[in-house]
């Protein structure tokens, strides 16, 4: 199995690190793969630049740092602008289309936008936007099984919030599936 490098970027308070943790957990605990997680954030508790880097592999990960992500998950404009030039030439960019305006990328780059913040607000809690993004990422990237991601969400979020978070995950996943169907239909 190939190595997949993923960078999740946004700002503190959006759940960037949790999103990376859940992806790694889904791969290693619920899909029998290996994964690593590294993280970077500013000194402020909320509002500063933040990123999580996840590597998923069928074999032991020997170097835990992302060099050129195969997947970039962008939850903020600044995060996207910071990392947009450091991606693989065939990268998949998953982004919150209400917060991030994409620039032009090479012909092999695939981009998928979701109104994650808006969907989270419709669910009544803006704080679950990271889980909406996670579901969307799962559907469009197809690198991890839906059930592995779902189990990782359920076992990683605070007790008592599992229902809301699973609903957010499902909304993001369904949005991703419908977007992929539209893309295939128009191709």
Q: What is the pLDDT of residue 13?
A: 81
If phi > 0 it is left, if psi is from -120 to 50 it is alpha, else beta; for residue 3 that is: beta
pLDDT, tens digit, 9 for 90 and up, residues 42-82: 655 566 778 999 999 999 999 999 999 999 999 999 999 99
Cβ neighbors of 48 (< 8 A, separation 6 or more) are 11, 12, 41, 42
CATH code at 4-186: 3.40.920.10
Largest CA distance in the chain: 46
Residues in the chain: 187
Residue ranges per domain, the chain?
A: 4-186
Statement: residue 1 has pLDDT above 70: no
pLDDT, tens digit, 9 for 90 and up, residues 83-142: 999 999 999 999 999 999 999 999 999 999 999 999 999 999 999 999 999 999 999 999
Cβ neighbors of 88 (< 8 A, separation 6 or more) are 5, 68, 69, 70
Q: What are the phi and psi torsion angles at 73 (to 5°)?
A: -105, 115
Residue in 102, 95, 140 with CA at minimum distance from that of residue 116: 95
């Amino acid at each position: 199995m190939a190595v997949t490098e993923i960078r999740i970027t946004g700002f503190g308070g959006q759940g960037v690190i949790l999103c990376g943790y859940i992806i790694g957990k889904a791969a290693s605990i619920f899909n029998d793969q290996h994964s690593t997680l590294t993280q970077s954030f500013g000194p402020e508790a909320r509002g500063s630049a933040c990123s999580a880097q996840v590597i998923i592999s069928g074999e032991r990960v020997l170097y835990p740092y992302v060099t050129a992500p195969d997947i970039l998950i962008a939850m903020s404009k600044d995060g996207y602008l910071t990392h947009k030039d450091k991606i693989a030439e065939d990268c998949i960019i998953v982004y919150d289309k209400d917060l991030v305006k994409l620039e032009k990328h090479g012909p092999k780059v695939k981009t998928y936008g979701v109104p994650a913040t808006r969907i989270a607000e419709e669910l009544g809690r803006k704080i679950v936007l990271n889980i909406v993004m996670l579901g969307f990422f799962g559907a469009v990237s197809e690198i991890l099984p839906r059930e592995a991601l779902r189990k990782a969400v359920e076992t990683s979020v605070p007790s008592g919030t599992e229902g809301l978070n699973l609903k957010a995950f499902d909304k993001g996943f369904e949005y991703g599936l419908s977007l992929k169907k539209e893309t295939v239909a128009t191709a």
